[in-house]
Amino acid sequence: MGVKRSGGRVRLPVRRGGAEKYLWYTLLSFAFTVTLVRLFLEFTGYPQFGGGEIHIAHVLWGGLALFSAVLLSLILTNRWAYSLSAILAGIGVGLFIDEVGKFITQNNDYFYPAAAPIIYAFFLLVVWLYLHVRRPPSLSIREELYRALGEMAEVLDHDLESEERKNLEKRLERIAQHAEHADYRHLARRLQEFIDSESLHVVPDRKSGFERFIDYARQWERRWITLGRLKAIVIGALLALGIVTVVDFARLLSGINNPELLAAWIDDLLSLGLVTSKSGLLWFATLTILEGLVGSLLIIAVILLLVKREDIGLTLAASGLLLSLVGVNLLVFYFQQFSTVITALIQFLILLLVYHYRSRAQVEKG
């Protein structure tokens, strides 16, 4: 006797289990690829592979990596294949977008100033997508069953850990209790029986090298870095970054009432090649003002932290850092190109430090 179904084919998309992990691999490999390519080309004098009329641009290797990533995900269903596909996709996109300057200019200008901001903006979009995917979704019964069937691959690979077994049992129990279709409930019960079997091969829970490193770092922090010391580190980092960020803004303010100082500032910009036109000077002045705003926010945040107004201070610090990372750095990349990668990384690490201090303070202070 067949099972009665209430509709036709279901085409609703289902998020893959572990999607945030695969996207994280893509994000990291993309960032490392662009950074390493630029560093390699800078240190080697921008060599060209090929001879005569032939020039093998690295965008071709990017296309090969992207095609390999697609083939892996289409042909293989192993989880390691998805991880490798994600890494290859990041490498491929990094090699491709690194040459964006050639694609948007008539003279194929690899060093076109707008290329760096475009690459950075694309990176920010991927970060936003990762943060969106990272949020735990509210799964329907159909999506729960998708996840359960996907997790059965761990059984087939003899890689099911005890904690994964418990999570799978909970997922199957939810399906068995709440599924509207009797065939879904029946399938969940049969899978539960299989998972509960004593003959099922289950491996002990084990942590990756990265997880062990994080555990060691947390233990070291709890032993050597008190909350007060961590706060001092946060204040020091914010103060140093705030002062460095606000220096050019202070010079600009000083030059408003002193033509000689202003002329000297402009001469410095011209000699360094940062600006070459009046419009460029206007945009650089805009950048300087925005950096002054960010630096002021960080310095005010430090003052608030010192007078024990931590909630407002941490919020201001995070807001200033996010403003710089998401908005101001687009202009910084235009004028300073990829030399600002280190600065952006420092800003990101300080932002993580601010969030870490906030979460730890909430736990320890109740």
The predicted pLDDT at position 121 comes to: 92
352 with 278, same domain? yes
Domain contains 289: yes
The predicted pLDDT at position 269 comes to: 66
130 with 145, same domain? no
Domain contains 103: yes
User: Could you say which residues of the chain have pLDDT below 50?
Assistant: 1-5
31 with 130, same domain? yes
Domain contains 10: no
158 with 39, same domain? no
The predicted pLDDT at position 317 comes to: 93
257 with 355, same domain? yes
- Mention every residue, 6+ apart, whose C-beta is less than 8 A from residue 93: 26, 30, 33, 62, 66
DSSP state of 205: P
347 with 223, same domain? yes
The predicted pLDDT at position 4 comes to: 44
Q: In total, how many domains does the chain have?
A: 3
What is the Cα–Cα distance from 148 to 128, expressed in whole angstroms?
Answer: 27
Domain contains 5: no
Domain contains 88: yes
Domain contains 4: no
The predicted pLDDT at position 297 comes to: 92
Domain contains 206: no
What is the Cα–Cα distance from 35 to 231, expressed in whole angstroms?
Answer: 32
The predicted pLDDT at position 83 comes to: 92
User: Torsions phi, psi of 301, nearest 5?
Assistant: -60, -40
Q: What is the pTM of this model?
A: 0.80
Give the range of the structural domain holding residue 35, as residue numbers without chain letter.
Answer: 19-134
| The last residue of a domain, from among 112, 134, 156 | 134
Domain contains 181: yes
